[in-house]
Structure 1
């Protein structure tokens, strides 16, 4: 076992994220940063923590920055940048996807209308559009519920 906290749990979390569709190395970096101290990790510390190359960490961090999960910051007096997981990253990813669900539903409606006589394909597109619309309607309520629960706890 290594000196880093929650290593086994972080690796299990990364496996879950990978199974859900996230590339493996970004999932591992994200979970490592989840268990990181408040000031995060440097790239070198991530390499050591994960037992991977600097190139692997660099690519994973770049991917996570594009998704707005990770922030790079400089620390006064340090030469190396540190990486931290943004505190509200998961919350923001749900909030930010509500318009995506709405747009997806509209596109799928257009697709269903343009499929002509293919009833199976039309129904498939219509069902997915309905699900996307359901998500777009429910997410704001779920977010409100979460905020109420979070402030109460």
Structure 2
């Protein structure tokens, strides 16, 4: 359950503010969403927490707010850092590391989807190499290749549109 009380110190603003029930549900839904894409549920919950946090969050605060072990937080933070979805930051006068959602998180998310489709295309190409010209599965794999080409193109266009959106000065 999300608590408005999670706080790293008396000088810091509260970690979360707003409807704690709605925020808890949002965080849980993010966990479920990302779990469908191969990220452990706790990783998605961490992303959800970072999205709604008012300030950078320490692993200790994540553990307290999400009610999971510190080791689970550490393991998932390493994965999220490697994926480019979160960033480690330091705060003046603090000895602990803090985390924020990466400014490149959505771009990185599209890139990961594109990489997944490219991997699927390569698998289809390898499968086709093993089939004779008249093999009944050939048509299915050729259709798979057509589909991956279409989806790759769509993801590339989305990525380009997102990147150009970010480049436009405010």
State whether TM-score is above 0.5: yes
Q: For 1:89 and 1:139, how far apart are their aligned partners in 2?
A: 15
Relative to the length of structure 1, the TM-score reads 0.80
1:81 aligns with 2:97: yes
Deviation for aligned residue 1:10: 1.6
Partner SS for 2:155: helix
Matched residue, 2:71: 55
Q: For 2:28 and 2:116, how far apart are their aligned partners in 1?
A: 30
Relative to the length of structure 2, the TM-score reads 0.73
Task: Give the unaligned 5+ runs of structure 2.
Answer: 5-15, 18-22
The answer to whether the 8 A contact 2:59-2:98 is kept is: yes
Deviation for aligned residue 1:148: 6.3
The answer to whether the 8 A contact 1:65-1:71 is kept is: yes
Q: For 2:93 and 2:117, how far apart are their aligned partners in 1?
A: 44
Structure-2 change in CA distance of 1:97 and 1:14 (3 Å):
closer
Greater share of helix residues, 1 or 2? Answer: 1
Partner SS for 1:13: helix
Equivalent positions of 1:21-36 (< 5 A) are 21-36=38-53
Deviations along 1:92-125, one digit per CA (max 9) or x if unpaired, are 23146546644642442232131236422x3333
Matched residue, 1:2: 3
Q: For 1:19 and 1:96, how far apart are their aligned partners in 2?
A: 14
